[in-house]
Structure 1
Amino acid sequence: MSRPHSPPATAGRHSSLPHNDGRIIAHFGRQIIIEDGQGQQHRCSARRNLPPLVCGDYISWYYPDPKSCIIHELKSRSSLLARPDGRGKQKIIAANIDQILIVCSPLPELNEGLLDRYLVAATLTSINPLIVLNKTDLLERKQLENYQQRLAIYQQLDYQVIYTSAHEDVAFNQLSQCLHGKTSILVGQSGVGKSSLLNRLLPDVHARIGEVSSATGKGRHTTTTARLYHLPDSASLIDSPGIREFGLWNVSPEQLAQGFPEFVRREDQCRFRDCRHRNEPGCAVLDAVEKEEISHERHASYLRILASLEES
């Protein structure tokens, strides 16, 4: 990985210097690390009139003097992944993402509610989701079969699922192929092995690996800020901090059902156009749940998310 680059000592005033294009690969407080078109890294600050900048943003920048690098323009974003912060305001995690790798594991235990929230966010922002069950080497055969049954619900909805472990090369080759030519982001709970996956995909990174607390069964945070790495075959991978909860940003109760594809296929059959698929008469979704054409667990997850949106 190249080290942050300094300008030549002969750099003149910004009025006579060309403005350069680049991409943000990390953000540490006020310090922003960008990468230019030649792969050189630069430490920059941003003009105060710009909105908050995040990992993955495309920007324009210049050197006003030999010791300063200034970002002066934010390019249009093709996509962004965001969630509410502790005060209910938008917190953007990363921008210009093609694919979300939702990493789960048996330890900490697979949380379908969190998985469903990520899938809703991905669907509503037109970002392709990929479910990764990591640490399968920790499972006995019958345990693995149980997880496969739980995730089969998602495969039936055309979500791709990949099973990975520390000793399985075939799965990692499959995962690598899914990353080709895309900017992907690793998301998931702390302790599910995102940093281990990154180290396997890109051994020179040496990302810090956290342990799972034996007392809580929850992971400890080791990645503190999103960072973009380059992989072979024109792929980029953003490692994001682990979280235990993922709130949905700017999603109304009316929009929520659009994040459940099995609901979308049936909602035009509901008696009422504003049906919330909760207890309304003539609801085609409830009828499908009753007939076991829609998973009871997925519908229950939808109702929990719906209740949280109505409370906020």
Structure 2
Amino acid sequence: MAKRRLTKHQQWRIEKIQQERTTRANQRDVKLQEDLLGGEFGEEQSGLITAHFGIQAEVEDNHGERYRCYLRANLPTIVTGDKVVWRAGNQQNGIITALQPRTTELCRTDSFGRIKIIAANVNLLVIVFAPVPTPYANLIDRYLIAAQYSGIRPLLLLNKLDLVNQQNEQEIIELLDIYRQLNYQVLEVSTVMPETIEQLQLLLHDCTSVFVGQSGVGKSSLINTLLPAADLRVGSLSEATNKGAHTTTTAKLFHLPSGGDLVDSPGIRDFALTHTNKEVIEQGFIEFQPYLGHCKFRNCSHQHEPGCALLKAITDGNISLKRMDSYRHILESLMIDD
């Protein structure tokens, strides 16, 4: 007998029931843990979430010490990068009592279209691409939309600079020029050129950053270079050999020796934009912003309508036709109605 396939709604219902059961079990576990600790906690203090493991999270105190802590049952979702209020126990443990306000939330959508927060208080999104594999402006544009939507500053990072040659140089120059003309910050680096890595370290200083980009662009090599003790962290920071997949599902925060923090998470390899809409996509193309709302028709699709402000901006040379083509491709791929 063929196995009956569940509808998407049935799958959602099953997952929802499982989540509710898990939540109830977690609440019982937290209460049991509090009882076992006998309420012997220190004074409330501030802390930083450096990793999250179900009903527990790793909290770093103001002296750099890390504690495995339980979460109070009434707390909202806690993620890596969160700033919290917590109380230390007597065995390098403790309990988190409150979540402090976030400045940013880095999100993605799951298979059901629900928004999942994967890191908090990130202020730099490092978009990594390379001469090989061939970089695609449309993928870069998707990351830029995600950065704009999340309120996170983007840095476009061309890695493997040493692989630029006569065959690909002109294409790379034209690609970078598109974004430089839009005043995006662009940096060219290579792990075999120490002076370029020093420039990257300066830009990462005092930032909480996340690296994103397609497999093969050298994110793991960059991270290992930035973290001298990467041999201890390669399992969580690097892509598995030949597969481009992380060996961990936990987002972790590391302090860079040169200054700044790095959040590594398998949940940010790609940014699904299915939780957005046409307006979000338009705002993500920053050169569109002066013209939005100035079309003759309120529901202008920016395709062929008379009086379209964006089409006129293309004719006037104020918007690149390549960027408009990228915008249309993203709308089409997301099946967002015009």
TM-score by length of 2: 0.78
CA-CA distance at 1:22 after TM superposition: 0.8
Distance change >3 Å, CA 191–CA 29, structure 1 → 2: farther
Q: Secondary structure at the match of 1:25?
A: strand
Distance 1:145 1:282 in 2: 36
Distance 2:45 2:93 in 1: 14
Matches within 5 A, 1:284-303: 284-303=309-328
Q: Secondary structure at the match of 2:253?
A: strand
Note if 1:203 corresponds to 2:233.
no
Distance 2:325 2:239 in 1: 32
Note if 1:37 corresponds to 2:66.
no
Residues 36-69 of structure 1: CA deviation (Å, up to 9, x unaligned)? 1110011122223222221101111224564752
In structure 1, the residue matched to 2:280 is: 255
Identify the structure with the greater helix proportion.
Answer: 2
TM-score by length of 1: 0.84
Matches within 5 A, 1:231-246: 231-232=256-257, 234-241=259-266, 245-246=270-271
Among candidates 66, 73, 78, match of residue 103 of structure 2: 78
In structure 2, the residue matched to 1:149 is: 174
Q: Secondary structure at the match of 1:102?
A: strand
Q: 75-84 or 59-68, which moves further after superposition?
A: 59-68
8 A contact 2:189–2:196 mirrored in 1: yes
User: Rg bigger for which structure?
Assistant: 2
8 A contact 2:113–2:275 mirrored in 1: no
8 A contact 2:278–2:336 mirrored in 1: yes
Note if 1:265 corresponds to 2:290.
yes
In structure 2, the residue matched to 1:310 is: 336
Note if 1:25 corresponds to 2:53.
no
CA-CA distance at 1:132 after TM superposition: 0.7
Specify the code of the residue in structure 2 equivalent to 1:76: P
Distance 2:267 2:182 in 1: 26
Distance 2:282 2:43 in 1: 48
Specify the code of the residue in structure 2 equivalent to 1:176: Q
Specify the code of the residue in structure 2 equivalent to 1:96: N
Structure 2: 5+ residue stretches without partners: 1-36
Structure 1: 5+ residue stretches without partners: 1-11
Specify the code of the residue in structure 1 equivalent to 2:174: Q
Distance change >3 Å, CA 92–CA 249, structure 1 → 2: farther
Specify the code of the residue in structure 2 equivalent to 1:48: A
8 A contact 1:253–1:309 mirrored in 2: no
Give the count of matched residue pairs: 297
Distance change >3 Å, CA 276–CA 35, structure 1 → 2: farther
8 A contact 1:90–1:249 mirrored in 2: no
8 A contact 2:108–2:268 mirrored in 1: no
CA-CA distance at 1:15 after TM superposition: 6.8
8 A contact 1:113–1:301 mirrored in 2: yes
Among candidates 150, 156, 159, match of residue 131 of structure 1: 156
Residues 257-302 of structure 1: CA deviation (Å, up to 9, x unaligned)? 1111111122254223443423332112122334554222221221
8 A contact 1:190–1:242 mirrored in 2: no
Distance change >3 Å, CA 201–CA 279, structure 1 → 2: same
Distance change >3 Å, CA 98–CA 204, structure 1 → 2: same
Residues 71-90 of structure 1: CA deviation (Å, up to 9, x unaligned)? 22111110011011111111
Among candidates 71, 74, 86, match of residue 49 of structure 1: 74
CA-CA distance at 1:115 after TM superposition: 1.4
Tell me how large the CA RMSD over aligned residues is: 2.7
CA-CA distance at 1:227 after TM superposition: 1.6
Among candidates 210, 213, 225, match of residue 185 of structure 1: 210
Q: Secondary structure at the match of 1:265?
A: helix
Give the share of equivalent positions with the same residue, in percent.
44
CA-CA distance at 1:164 after TM superposition: 1.3
8 A contact 1:225–1:241 mirrored in 2: yes
In structure 2, the residue matched to 1:160 is: 185
In structure 2, the residue matched to 1:229 is: 254
Matches within 5 A, 1:8-23: 13-14=38-39, 17-23=42-48
8 A contact 1:254–1:276 mirrored in 2: no
Specify the code of the residue in structure 1 equivalent to 2:113: G
